[in-house]
Amino acid sequence: MTQAPARHALFGHPVAHSLSPQIHAMFGRETGIALTYEAIDCRPEDFAAALERFMAEDGTGANVTLPLKEVAFPLCAQVSERARASGVINTLVREGEAWHGDNTDGQGLLRDLRNRQALDLRQRRTLLLGAGGGARGVAPALLDAGIGDLFVVNRDGTRADALVDRLGLPGKVHARYYDDLGELGDFSLIVNATSAARNTGLPKLPMSLVGSRTACVDLSYGEASIPFLSWARAARAHDVVDGLGMLVEQAAESFKLWHGVRPDADPVYAELRQRHDALVTAD
């Protein structure tokens, strides 16, 4: 008797343009694991019921994206250490009739920056723009990777304060305002974890933030990464990196949690990069 394919989904709002279904289909082909992976558009107020329905319909694992990463946390019976550190969930693993919550964003970012971009993150004075789900997922991982002082800047200052409090390293992690950026000197790592390009755009960033060896990293990819990465190039950043590699790596990490096998992310990344660059060049 053939076994039914493992059923997976990405929950978010919006999700229609997500690359995750393609990425997991490629991982399934590569590893020979039969699976389905669909994108389910869901508002925060409907998420608990949608997740229950997904379980009743034999869902075995899911990803969660904006704006549901925080809402997912209390729906988990257990969470991993790294998910607890960030307070946000991007991966749900079914255990019997309950969900185990994890967060693979930080690991995904580190794998891309260290292995693919060959960046040594240790002691880098770091500026993190944003304090939403993505920023909360990557901040603990960056600190674990040995960065130097971390400055968190967010449009809503109370969210930056809350992230800094959660990280709990007074003297090393600081909250600041966009208006302070001109007085902060330069950074060797600047991470854009905002969705600003999807709405009104980022507040103006002074070029004095960029020094001779600064790496500028955007968690976004595609169109949404163009404004920040163009600014980084104009400021002569040493390294300019978008979020495509992180996307593929966090997906590989989720796949491993569901199936016990880590797929090789490189061929999937290479294919998506080729398609992505062709699209951006065509614009």
Residue numbering of the annotated binding site: 18-20, 65, 81, 90, 105, 219, 221, 243, 250
Q: Is 69 a known active-site residue?
A: yes
Q: Which residues pair with 218 in a beta bridge?
A: 192
Residue 32: C-alpha distances to residues 25, 28, 86, 269, 276 (Å): 10, 6, 33, 18, 26
Question: What minimum distance in Å lies between the beta carbon of 282 and ligand NDP?
Answer: 21
Binding residues for NADP(+), by number, are: 81, 219, 243
Smaller CB distance to ligand NDP: residue 182 or 201?
A: 201
Using CB under 6 A, list all residues that contact ligand NDP.
66-67, 105, 108, 130-135, 154-156, 159, 193-196, 199-203, 219-221, 224, 243, 246-247, 250
Question: What minimum distance in Å lies between the beta carbon of 1 and ligand NDP?
Answer: 37
Smaller CB distance to ligand NDP: residue 53 or 114?
A: 114
Q: Give the contacts of 77 (CB within 8 A, at least 6 positions apart).
A: 95, 98, 99, 100
Binding residues for shikimate, by number, are: 18-20, 65, 90, 105, 221, 250
Question: What minimum distance in Å lies between the beta carbon of 143 and ligand NDP?
Answer: 17
Residue (of 146, 123, 126, 233) closest to 187 by Cα position: 126
Report the residue number whose CB is nearest to ligand NDP. 132
Pairwise CA distance, residues 80 & 70, whole Å: 14
Q: Would you state the structure tokens that stand for residue 261, as one six-digit string?
A: 């096998």
Smaller CB distance to ligand NDP: residue 28 or 132?
A: 132
Smaller CB distance to ligand NDP: residue 87 or 134?
A: 134
Pairwise CA distance, residues 94 & 240, whole Å: 37
Pairing relation of β-strands 98-102 and 187-192? Answer: unpaired
Q: Give the contacts of 262 (CB within 8 A, at least 6 positions apart).
A: 252, 253, 255, 256
| Active-site position among 69, 172, 204, 256 | 69
Q: Which residues are catalytic?
A: 69
